Amino acid sequence: MKSEERRALVLLGITAILASILATMYALIWTSSEKLEDFFFNFPCNSVPHLTVYDVPLLESLIKTWIVYVIFAFFYFSEDWFQGKRGERFRTFCHVFAAFFMGYYFLYAVWFIAVLYVALVWIPPQLGTLYTAAVLAGFVYVEIRFVETATGTRGASKDALLRLSNRTIKPVLTAAKPRLVLLVARLWNRYSNKLPPQLRNRVVGLRESVRPVRRQRKRFGAKVKILLAYVVGTVAIVILILYRLYCVG
């Protein structure tokens, strides 16, 4: 039995348990013994500021996600029905989306409940947009890595982004780089003497520090690029927070 089939069976067992719990809740609601609002839990606990999560909508969303997953997984497992190149492409398409919804199934409760709790309790309203963007970016990244791991195509999205960059962004940057370098050099020669000596020395030192960083990037490859991306993102978030705290009335 393939690993995908074993994961599907585990997911089926989990969903069967959740469906039985949901059916019991439905029965109590339909008989007026309980109300929908009676089924809930507080995250993380009652004694601190918390998020109230209602069980029925949560379970309904999980089961609906499982149904969508099953549709794609059914066609992916139907190897005898879809043969040839077109059939293989269709099954690959279904495999990717089945893995996507499987990842969403597991992330829904674990990820979004905690994310929503942090947004409601800890994140100031003025940073809500930035927090939402960071959460969505993290979700997309985790989903991409999950899909690549489940389908055995690690690095496929990175290769696709590199090809897209080489066809679009890189030619533009290559054509504009000489003019940008010349413009920066002219501005530096014109205004560098007007800068305070301490600031000018720091800028020169920063320029010199770029060279070993470039050599390190070539040496360590993708790991250094990811580290630099995290550093840039952290600095941008800190700057935005300081700006909103001290610059926005």
Q: Which tens digit of pLDDT belongs to each residue from 187-238?
A: 767 767 776 777 667 766 666 665 555 555 555 556 666 776 777 777 667 6
Nearest-10 Cα torsion for 56, 61, 64, 68 = -170
Per-domain residue ranges of the chain: 3-153, 168-246
- Other C-beta atoms within 10 Å of 93: how many? 13
Alpha-carbon separation of residue 107 from 97, 129, 162, 204, 246 (angstroms): 15, 21, 28, 46, 36
In angstroms, the CA 15 to CA 11 distance is 6
Evaluate if residue 1 carries a pLDDT over 50: no
**Percent of the chain having pLDDT more than 90?**
7
Burial class, 95, CB count within 10 angstroms (exposed 0-12 / middle 13-18 / buried 19+): buried
Q: At what angle do helices 3-30 and 55-77 cross, to 10 degrees?
A: 150
Using the structure block, give the residue that is written with the tokens 């609601």. 29
Task: Give pLDDT, residue 64.
Answer: 92
**Percent of the chain having pLDDT more than 70?**
75
Angle at 82 (CA atoms; ends 81, 87), nearest 5 degrees: 175
Confidence of residue 177 (pLDDT cuts 50, 70, 90): confident
pTM of the model: 0.62
Closest CA to 10 of 97, 64, 73: 73
Strand 40-43 with 51-54, pairing: antiparallel
DSSP 33: S
